[in-house]
Amino acid sequence: MLIFKSEDTNLEIILDNPLLKNILEECSKFKDLETGGILIGAYFDNRAIVSEIIGPPADSIHEPCDFYRGTAGLNELLDEKWKQGEFLVGEWHYHPNNSPEPSPIDDATMHEFSQDEKLNCHEIIQIIAGGNESMGWEFSVHLYMNNQKFKFKQQN
Ligand SMILES: [Zn+2]
């Protein structure tokens, strides 16, 4: 398990070990285009456990500096997960050959999601992968809640 903590909250984000590898496999498929998807998991007290990453829905749009995550099939998938006690807990995407830090648009989108009553996901995790296979991969992990943004760092 990978444990991520933030200095400004007592929340922990726990990632199952293979998840970052799964994200990199997805990124490798799209090479110089952005890609992404959603994070599935659950909250237990002060812990967010991310248990699965879902790749881009079929109606997503991949561009060199932009990614529009589609929604095809997501409702059905989330209904299935809900029966197992799992939910949408966040989003991930890839900045090819670039920094994994969120852009101003990324921040605005996540703040919007965390306040969307329909999504009912008031704490939203954003994982961004950057770099590439030859220059090396990098990750950032942030949590958006109450219109605030918290940076998480890996502890182990
Ligand atoms: Zn981005």
Distance 116 CA to ligand 1 centre (A): 20
Can you give the pTM of this predicted structure? 0.94
Domains of the chain: 2-154 (3.40.140.10)
Q: Which residues are annotated as catalytic?
A: 34
Distance 85 CA to ligand 1 centre (A): 29
E strands within 69-118? Answer: 87-96
Instruction: Give which of 60, 79, 81, 84 is closest to 70, Cα–Cα.
Output: 60
The pocket of ion ligand 1, defined by CB under 5 A, consists of 103, 106
Residue 21, φ and ψ in degrees, nearest 5: -65, -40
Rounded to whole angstroms, the Cα distance separating 97 from 129 reads 10
pLDDT, averaged in runs of 10, over the chain (156 residues):
93 91 92 95 93 96 94 96 95 95 96 83 92 91 94 93
Distance 109 CA to ligand 1 centre (A): 10
Neighbouring-strand partners of residue 53? 39
